[in-house]
Amino acid sequence: MGRFGAVLLCAVLAQAAGTPPRIEIVEGDGAINNIRLHRAKEPVVRVVDSSGQPLPNVAVTFLLPETGASGTFAAGLSSLTAMTDANGQAVGRGLRPNNHTGQFQIRVTASYRGEAATAIVTQTNAEPVQAGGSSKKILIVALIGGAAAAGAAVALSKGKSSSAAPPPPPAGAVITPGAPTFGHP
């Protein structure tokens, strides 16, 4: 290799060493975790260089909040360090939500050749609505309301002359989440 080639190689290596890695979020951002079943979506990130090539064997740290809505990794720890695989991906394995509902952020950091990158994965801990309870009450009220509307339609149709066309059948009850409302048939 000539002198020009050696200088060019040194310049390329110096540029690569000074370029920070980038963290791309692959999975887990915007996830909703079930606190009742202690199930969470494990965050998955990909670490790449400035040209978008995956970086294997890079240490990636996932850090959870200490208070409020959050979770733990294995052994109840609030942080986990994982190495990227051949595709540059690292997984925050073993994430379990705590019992606090709400949104929280997982801070992700990666360090490569003295340069660091950070990213944020946002998740929410929620308690799912149980089947039954108030939803059964809404269903019963909706069915009673539908029956009352059908009865009213029949009663109104009996007061009209026999030459009039029969009224259309009453519309079925439509059940939607929220406070029940009833309209005209």
153 shares a domain with 121: no
Mean pLDDT, residues 78-104 = 97
Residue 35 belongs to a domain: yes
- pLDDT tens by residue, 93-152: 999 999 999 999 999 999 999 999 999 999 999 998 876 555 555 444 444 555 555 555
Tokens encoding 167: 């009224």
- What is the number of structural domains in the chain? 2
Percent of the chain whose predicted confidence (pLDDT) is above 70 = 61
Q: Which domain holds residue 156?
A: 130-160+168-185
CB 145 within 8 A of CB 52: no
Residue 175 belongs to a domain: yes
For position 64, what pLDDT does the model report? 98
Residue 129 main-chain phi, psi, to 5 deg? -70, 130
69 shares a domain with 137: no
Residue of 99, 111, 119, 135 lying closest to 55 (CA atoms): 111
* Distance between CA atoms of residues 13 and 90, nearest Å: 25
Residue 4 belongs to a domain: no
Sign of the CA dihedral 43, 48, 54, 56? negative
Residue 6 belongs to a domain: no
Give the burial class of 9: count Cβ atoms within 10 A of its Cβ; 0-12 exposed, 13-18 middle, 19 or more buried. exposed
Give the Cβ contact number of residue 183 at 10 Å.
8
Give the Cβ contact number of residue 77 at 10 Å.
11
For position 110, what pLDDT does the model report? 97
Q: Is residue 67's pLDDT more than 80?
A: yes
